[in-house]
């Protein structure tokens, strides 16, 4: 979506800000990169400034990439980074991409599955801790930026960051620490008040602010408003009947310019809206218009409604449906939602484009609203029931898109969740769970927790399903634990354990118990509640009779992990012999898996055997650490390193 004043050709009154960005770019070219944060109100011209600067940077032989955050909901985790990485990998040949990423290739492949063939490595799920996994992904992003910048200075823009997922901002905060030694300038643009009002963004933005230079945008002065109004009036030509044969437009009376400045507070988007309104009324060059109160800024929605008024019913229906889909939308999706042909939809969008309401987002059949306020105004005209119905239609259209829902999981989940009241509830829960699992796989833990929470809310209105409820609460607990919310995680996992305790299969309970164990050791205390649930899970698994080889191997792997975690939980207790017995049992069982049927089975089974043994060795040995165990440490460490190399697990190796 384009921000207000998004047309860089109409950039007025931002000379000082452009000079500051130029100075930042000169520093980056000299190897002293950094981050500049552009903040301001809606319509103040953040995007226009960034676009104008990018054009100047490109003219100076800098590479650039742009990522825009999605305001319609349902964007995949790291969406601005996906756009940036996609653009930058096109700048490099495959060998250069592989060289830049090194062992970070699988992590970038997790964001961009289309790179799997180029990189020659699959995106592999990780058993690493949340912080380790996220570190690897962020480090891979930084290495990609550095690889591109090694050829030419690089400018990246993350626009509309107030709509970003928290993981995207954490990634920028991480990358910002790498930039002082690189020829890279990162620009982040967002609405300060909206971004800092979000509890999930505020901490990361605080960290980013300490590493960034802030560039706040204020309203334009009166003279600049006059220049902007004159430029817009010239672009409108003789719409108000004042243009001469040559297309010249008379000057706007100074009193009217002053009135426009006062009403708009110098906001470029409001200036533009007011100029277009006055032109449509034939009053743009009538000084008497200054004698009446002008409707902006408080009346900006009324101004937009007046611009929408000339559109006939069908065109308005198409725009309303587009507003429900999101800030940027595909013609094919919009056609499916409205039941019109793509040609007919394109005709309606042409009408809206001439009215300055929508713009072509790219050359691949995507359009966007000229400003967020245009979409917001349209949404106020759509009733709750109709909006839910349109959301369901949008989700169904995306389900049918090229027969591949994977790239659109978050979007589909968002639309079904919004349309739950109109028949989308079952599918909302299913897609939200899938999108959440994908987010965890991409280390976007806050986004996964949000999706699980929404799925739990919607599922409450469906017929009871304990297995589904366990899956959702377990997933929420796992996501919160990885995001660092221990209290919230244990609350969700406690609910999951209550549900799992009633199942005949003991494995769900074991999974939830393990998800609630913190990595490492507690600070000098034993948690009795944790010991009890670990003991209960072990007893249930040990009592279970399983004949299926694959299920038996999975159960044995859980037995190993539970025993090791119980030994860790007892580390500060006087039960030294019990800890030793638990770890020894886990060692024996892990060796049996490692040399048994699982080790000779499928790739997934072999990976399970290797990772189980690596976990038991790496975590079990410290659980029995003492003065007399040092000699055993070296051969165990060597074996763990070999297993880590085989399972591509560099963090556990470290």
Q: How far apart are CA 452 and CA 474, in angstroms?
A: 9
Neighbours of 131 (CB within 10 A): 13
- For 457-496, the DSSP string reads HHHTTSPP-HHHHHHHHHHHHHHHHHHT-HHHHHHHHHHH
Helix, strand or coil, per DSSP, at residue 212 = strand
Supply angle C-alpha 435, 441, 446, rounded to 5: 70
**Selection from 268, 300, 133, 270 nearest residue 650 by Cα:** 133
pLDDT at residue 599, as a whole number: 61
For every residue of 47-80, DSSP letters joined together read HHHHHHHHHHHHHTT-EEEEEE--SSS-PPTTHH
Closest Cα partner for 272 from 229, 237, 243, 238? 229
Q: Which residue has the tokens 């626009």?
A: 159
Angle at 645 between CA 613 and CA 601, to 5 degrees: 55
Q: Which helix (H) or strand (E) holds 190?
A: strand 184-190
Q: Report pLDDT for 128.
A: 52
CA dihedral sign of residues 440, 441, 442, 443 = positive
DSSP string, 338-403: HT--HHHHHHHHHHHHHTTSEEE--SSSEEEESSHHHHHHHHTTS-HHHHHHHHHHHHHHHHTGGG
Pairing of strands 212-216, 34-39: parallel
Nearest to 401 by CA among 329, 306, 350: 329
Question: How far is Cα 397 from Cα 340, in angstroms, rounded to an integer?
Answer: 13
pLDDT at 365: 85
What count of other Cβ atoms lies within 10 Å of the Cβ of residue 36? 22
User: In which element (H, E) is residue 152 found?
Assistant: none
Q: State residue 378's pLDDT score.
A: 92
Please give the average pLDDT of every successive group of 10 residues along the chain, which has 654 residues. Answer: 47 94 96 96 92 95 94 86 92 81 81 77 59 86 93 96 93 95 97 86 86 94 94 68 51 93 90 88 89 75 81 92 94 95 95 88 87 87 95 93 82 95 94 94 92 97 96 96 91 96 94 82 77 94 77 86 92 89 90 72 78 83 70 76 78 67
Radius of gyration of the chain (CA): 29
What pLDDT was estimated at residue 39?
95
């Amino acid at each position: 979506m384009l921000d207000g004043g998004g047309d860089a050709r109409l950039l007025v009154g931002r000379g000082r800000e452009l000079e500051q960005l130029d100075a930042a770019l000169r520093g980056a070219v000299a190897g002293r990169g950094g981050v500049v944060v552009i903040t301001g109100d809606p319509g103040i011209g953040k995007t226009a400034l960034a676009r104008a600067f990018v054009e100047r940077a490109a003219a100076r032989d800098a590479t650039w990439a742009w990522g825009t955050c999605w305001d319609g909901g349902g964007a995949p985790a790291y969406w601005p980074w996906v756009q940036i990485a996609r653009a930058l990998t096109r700048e490099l040949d495959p060998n250069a991409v592989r060289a830049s990423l090194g062992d970070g290739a699988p992590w970038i492949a997790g964001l961009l599955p289309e790179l799997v063939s180029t990189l020659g490595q699959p995106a592999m799920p990780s058993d690493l801790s949340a912080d380790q996994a996220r570190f690897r992904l962020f480090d891979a992003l930084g290495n990609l930026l550095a690889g591109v910048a090694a050829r030419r200075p690089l400018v990246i823009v993350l626009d509309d960051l107030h709509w970003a997922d928290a993981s995207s901002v954490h990634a920028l905060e991480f990358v910002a620490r790498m930039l002082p030694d690189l020829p890279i300038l990162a620009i982040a643009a967002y609405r300060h008040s909206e971004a800092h009002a979000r509890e999930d963004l505020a901490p990361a933005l605080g960290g980013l602010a300490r590493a960034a230079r802030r560039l706040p945008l204020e309203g334009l002065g009166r003279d600049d408003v006059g220049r902007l109004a004159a430029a817009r009036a010239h672009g409108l030509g003789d719409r108000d009947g004042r243009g001469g044969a040559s297309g010249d437009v008379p000057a706007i009376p100074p009193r009217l310019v002053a009135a426009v400045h006062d009403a708009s507070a110098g906001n470029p988007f409001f200036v533009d809206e007011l100029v277009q309104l006055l032109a449509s009324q034939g009053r743009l060059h009538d000084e008497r218009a200054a004698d009446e109160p002008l409707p902006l800024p408080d009346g900006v929605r009324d101004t937009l409604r007046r611009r929408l008024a000339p559109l006939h019913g069908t065109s308005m229906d198409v725009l309303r449906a587009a507003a429900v889909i999101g800030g940027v939308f595909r013609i094919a999706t919009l056609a499916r939602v409205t039941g019109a042909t793509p040609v007919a939809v394109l005709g309606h969008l042409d009408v809206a484009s001439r009215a300055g309401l929508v713009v072509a987002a790219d050359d691949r059949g995507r359009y966007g609203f000229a400003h967020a306020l245009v979409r917001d105004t349209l949404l106020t005209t759509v009733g709750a029931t109709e909006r839910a119905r349109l959301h369901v239609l949008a989700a169904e259209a995306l389900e049918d898109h090229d027969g591949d829902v994977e790239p659109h999981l978050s979007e589909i989940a968002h639309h079904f969740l919004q349309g739950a009241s109109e028949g989308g509830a079952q599918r909302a829960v299913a897609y939200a769970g899938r999108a959440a699992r994908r987010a965890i796989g991409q280390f976007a833990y806050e986004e996964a927790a949000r999706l699980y929470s929404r799925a739990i809310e919607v599922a409450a209105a469906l017929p009871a399903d304990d297995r589904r409820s366990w899956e959702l609460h377990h997933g929420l607990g796992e996501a919160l634990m990885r995001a660092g919310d221990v209290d919230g995680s244990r609350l969700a996992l406690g609910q999951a354990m209550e549900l799992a305790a009633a199942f005949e299969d003991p494995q769900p309970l074991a999974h939830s118990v393990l998800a609630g164990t913190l990595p490492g050791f507690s600070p000098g205390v034993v948690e009795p509640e944790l010991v009890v649930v670990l003991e209960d899970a072990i007893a249930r698994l040990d009592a279970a009779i399983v004949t299926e080889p694959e299920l038996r191997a999975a159960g044995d792997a859980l037995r190993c992990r539970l025993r090791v975690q119980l030994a860790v939980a007892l580390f500060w207790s006087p039960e030294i012999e019990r800890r030793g017995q638990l770890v020894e049992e886990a060692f024996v069982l892990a060796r049996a898996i490692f040399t048994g049927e699982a080790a000779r089975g499928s790739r997934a089974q072999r990976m399970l055997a290797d990772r189980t043994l690596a976990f038991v060795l790496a975590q079990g040995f410290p659980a029995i650490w003492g003065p007399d165990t040092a000699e055993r440490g070296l051969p165990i460490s060597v074996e763990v390193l070999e297993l880590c190399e085989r399972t591509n697990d560099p963090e556990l190796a470290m």
